[in-house]
Homo-oligomer: A and B are copies of this chain.
Amino acid sequence: METDDRLGEVLGALDAGLPAALDRLIDFVRIPSVSTDPAYAADVRRAAEWLRGELAALGFEAALRETAGHPVVLARSAPGGGRSLLFYGHYDVQPVDPVELWDHDPFDARVEDRAAGAVIRGRGASDDKGQLMTFVEACRAWKAVHGSVPAGLTLLFEGEEECGSPSLAPFLAAHADELRASLALICDTGMYADGRPAITTQLRGLMGEEIVVRAADRDLHSGNFGGLAANPIQVLVNALAGIKDDSGRVTLPGFYDGVDELTNQLRADWDDLGFDAAEYLSRVGLSQPIGERGRTGLEMVWNRPTFEINGIAGGYAGDGFKTVLPAEARAKVSCRLVGTQDPEAIRAALQAHVRAHVPADCTVEFHPHGSAPASRMDITDPAFAAARAALTEEWGREAAYIGAGGSIPVGGDFQRILGMDVMLIGFGRDDDRIHSPNEKYNVESFAKGARSWARVLAAIR
């Protein structure tokens, strides 16, 4: 069959080109594009330029598009024979702290041979540079072998995903006509388990908030003021302690508005995955779920909302001891959201709760850090069945429909702003240590990921 032959040649080209593709990925990971830290702004732009250069070299019409923050890289193929598709990835990465826990410089990326298979190690190797490059390499192979990709492709890469994507929704809204396609493809998710490919059909949302409590106009000596003056750390701690009750439920009024129970079908599908929460936790040195009582492990991470304290700081926490009542204390907190929970209503409930704990002599300041509702995909589009079959073919195992605990706000943005369906396919592994020291991406994920996209591009008609 002609299609099979055409695809076979592309897969062969990908296999032959793997060493060069790995070199390209390593160059890319070596650019420290930490979007949340202003000190790296020039590096973030350098990563965008690198990507633009790669896409232009493939014959795409590629350009940087400025935003209020980091630029968007936008590229477009000549109209192909297939459906119009919009591919999304992000070229920015998480900070590297605590950097002393890395085995080597997080940006000195390299391929390392491991008993379980080779990996590319470095910040962003998996999230999302390695992932997005699987798609770019698939396009490269199609172009090299057949002169074109089998679809009308627009590629959109943002540089602010790790700091809440503040510029993306405005960018999509401003360029909706230019960007709209028949389906969006996103490569920023994982396999279900080693070797089992997956399409993610629901994502949790996110609401992030920074809380700053201030008291005296300077740090105070606890001998001179302790017992008399307000301590902002204590105020903050008191406010944060009551937000979850003993059963793991969040106590903010209205928090569970819009939280749906699983459908019976989805519950059966997920049960079939045989998720073992204790085994999953054991990979990070833990042993037991600490979430809401009466929920399965997969519900806790895919279908239940959370409240977490992501960072806290106040007073002197360095070596030694300083008997101080500090002038201020701060915490960064976030909620993962599901169903139709309203991020801004929850932000308001959080602020009201904290304010109720702030005594007369203290002030509180709030700084919002991103918000996105949860999203669910419409899997009745035949592209889903086609992609599922292509993934199953590549990996030799039935591809699964799964949920994700993380937030990829762009999924919801594409649905809401562009009115497009979204298909999330990715090749990350649970042990990729994304957002943690020693992040890696399996060479197998990279190689078979590119082959998977080559197949999916052929399958979606």
The answer, yes or no, to whether A1 is at the interface (CB within 8 Å) is: no
* Distance in angstroms between the alpha carbons of A242 and B240 in the assembled complex: 12
The answer, yes or no, to whether A286 is at the interface (CB within 8 Å) is: yes
Report B-chain residues with C-beta under 8 Å of the C-beta of A297: 228
* Distance in angstroms between the alpha carbons of A220 and B309 in the assembled complex: 12
Report B-chain residues with C-beta under 8 Å of the C-beta of A400: none
Chain A positions 325 through 342: 1 when the CB is less than 8 Å from some CB of chain B, otherwise 0: 110011110101000000
Report B-chain residues with C-beta under 8 Å of the C-beta of A4: none
Chain A positions 264 through 296: 1 when the CB is less than 8 Å from some CB of chain B, otherwise 0: 000000000000010011001111111110000
Within 8 A of B (CB), among A295-332: 297, 300-301, 304-306, 308-326, 329-332
Task: Please state if B319 and A36 are interface contacts (CB–CB under 8 Å).
Answer: yes
Task: Please state if A326 and B306 are interface contacts (CB–CB under 8 Å).
Answer: no
The answer, yes or no, to whether A406 is at the interface (CB within 8 Å) is: yes
The answer, yes or no, to whether A263 is at the interface (CB within 8 Å) is: no
Report B-chain residues with C-beta under 8 Å of the C-beta of A223: 204, 336, 404-407
Task: Please state if B321 and A332 are interface contacts (CB–CB under 8 Å).
Answer: yes
How many identical subunits does the complex contain? 2
The answer, yes or no, to whether A141 is at the interface (CB within 8 Å) is: no
* Given A36-B320, A220-B436, residue A226 in contact with residue B306 (CB < 8 A): yes
Identity of the chain B residue whose Cβ is nearest the Cβ of A334 in the assembled complex: B323
* Distance in angstroms between the alpha carbons of A290 and B215 in the assembled complex: 11
The answer, yes or no, to whether A230 is at the interface (CB within 8 Å) is: yes
Task: Please state if B290 and A228 are interface contacts (CB–CB under 8 Å).
Answer: yes
Interface residue stretch chosen among A21-29, A105-113, A231-239: A231-239
Within 8 A of B (CB), among A191-233: 204, 206, 208, 210, 215-231, 233
Secondary structure at the A interface, as helix, strand, loop or mixed, is: loop
* Given A228-B290, A297-B228, residue A37 in contact with residue B218 (CB < 8 A): no
Point out the residue from B292, B304, B359 that lies within 8 Å of A290, measured CB to CB: B359
The answer, yes or no, to whether A391 is at the interface (CB within 8 Å) is: no
Task: Please state if A316 and B311 are interface contacts (CB–CB under 8 Å).
Answer: yes
Task: Please state if B434 and A290 are interface contacts (CB–CB under 8 Å).
Answer: no
Report B-chain residues with C-beta under 8 Å of the C-beta of A36: 319-322
Task: Please state if A97 and B325 are interface contacts (CB–CB under 8 Å).
Answer: no
Point out the residue from B210, B288, B322, B329 that lies within 8 Å of A94, measured CB to CB: B322
- Give me the interface of A with B, judged by CB distance under 8 Å: 35-38, 94-95, 97-98, 101, 163-164, 204, 206, 208, 210, 215-231, 233-234, 237-238, 240-242, 244, 277, 280-281, 284-292, 297, 300-301, 304-306, 308-326, 329-332, 334, 336, 359-361, 369-370, 404-407, 430, 433-437
29 CB contacts below 8 A, A to B, read A36-B322, A215-B286, A216-B285, A216-B286, A218-B285, A220-B435, A220-B436, A223-B407, A224-B406, A224-B434, A225-B405, A226-B306, A226-B405, A227-B301, A227-B305, A228-B280, A228-B291, A231-B308, A233-B310, A234-B308, A237-B240, A241-B241, A287-B360, A309-B315, A310-B326, A315-B332, A317-B332, A321-B370, A323-B435
